[in-house]
Amino acid sequence: MSTMTATRIIAGVDEAGRGPLAGPVVAAAVILNDSVLSSEVKDSKKLSQSRRDVLYEKIYLQATAVGVGMANVAEIDSLNILHATMLAMRRAVENLDCSPGLVLCDGNRCPEIPFPCEAIVGGDDKVPAISAASIIAKVTRDRIMIRMHDKFPQYRFDLHKGYPTKLHREALMAFGAIAEHRQSFAPVKSAIASRHQQNDQG
């Protein structure tokens, strides 16, 4: 499927970071040109980190346009993760250098944007522009979490990127939550309550 047609330019949109307990949700919008890049990109989850890093650079160099949008932890906690994801997607589209004629979003919902939009379940594995967006979103977010690890090494964000792994849950119980944790998420709530209980008993 070409991302350029005779009548309209197609942007693919995807996100990274709906499931983690910490950090922002990141979305990307990508307009690919008719190049070999369309045959190289794949769903980011099916690529190694090194391959994602290589394609990340190639997408920025060769794509017609790339836009990135985020919703921070405060927005996630106040809006809920679904609405925060839609907000990040909208911001990603708004940050494109050119206006798309059609936006194709991975998933089953579209953000509120002033362009025709279609949601495609499994789109990150079907539409090259969405695959490219998944790579940009994933690499961008991973790099944010690695920088967060530099500030808070005790949580090992470099290993789990904020996802609710056993290691992350244990760190939450041992060290409590920080501002970068999503306090509306149940495991974080539980860790905060447990810490308060321990302090009260202590």
**In this predicted model, what pLDDT tens digit does every residue of 93-150 receive, in sequence order?**
999 999 999 999 999 999 999 999 999 999 999 999 999 999 999 999 999 999 999 9
Question: 107 with 123: CB under 8 angstroms?
Answer: yes
Structure pTM?
Answer: 0.92
Give me the torsion for CA of 68, 15, 73, 187, rounded to 10°. -160
- The DSSP code for 43 is -
Distance between CA 142 and CA 157 in Å, rounded? Answer: 9
Strand partners, 83: none
Number of Cβ atoms within 10 Å of the Cβ of 54: 14
